[in-house]
Chain A
């Protein structure tokens, strides 16, 4: 089956700094990648859809200048949380979609901003 590697699994950063999260497909080419955010005891909320080679599409209420998404290749998408603040602390999960395997999720990144 499809394997998605998400890195780092957890990160603690100071308020005002930026954090980059990587999502990598190890064994298939993903034309579309999705980024989700999950607050404690809540469901996964879609933040943006990332298509290789084009600009990401953001969901309503998600600031595109704060959550920078780069989908430079068919195997890598990155999410950068810029000028992070404590309210950005959350569990971020990527999902890749491929024709053969459908949707496959990364293991998530726990971001804590102090």
Chain B
């Protein structure tokens, strides 16, 4: 199945550091979403982006919808131990009629050392 390219694959940082990850695609998306997944759980939505160029924040998290509509990034500032988990980007494909499906990125594993 189709996937988005997400980088980095993993990050090991110290508490308090800032984190940045991004997602790129060869396809144009009309919506970008960022999720966090804890072990053995389903993904939880962090930020949703609906317009090219849009910059949205949610607490310490900031995400942007790329101008070309083919990429997005997520920044986490002042990381804390509970930020540990796997972060996924997801793009919603343009498709007329029925609800558009999501395509997920390959994921970024974040480890935060206290």
Contact = CB atoms under 8 A, between A and B. Distances in A.
Residue of A44, A61, A91, A93 contacting most chain B CB atoms (<10 Å): A44
B40 A44 contact: no
Given A31-B99, A32-B98, A103-B33, A44 B41 contact: no
Nearest to A49: B101
Contacts of B48: 102
Interface in A91-112: 91, 93, 95, 97, 102-108, 110
B113 interface: no
B99 A107 contact: no
B73 interface: no
Nearest to B105: A43
Contact of A43 (B3, B33, B42, B45): B3
Contacts of A31: 99
Interface string A42-86: 111110010100000001110000000000000000000000000
A59 B103 CA distance: 12
B67 to A, nearest CB: 23
Given A51-B98, A103-B102, A43 B40 contact: no
A105 B104 CA distance: 13
A95 B102 CA distance: 10
Interface of A: 4, 6, 31-32, 34, 36, 42-46, 49, 51, 59-61, 91, 93, 95, 97, 102-108, 110
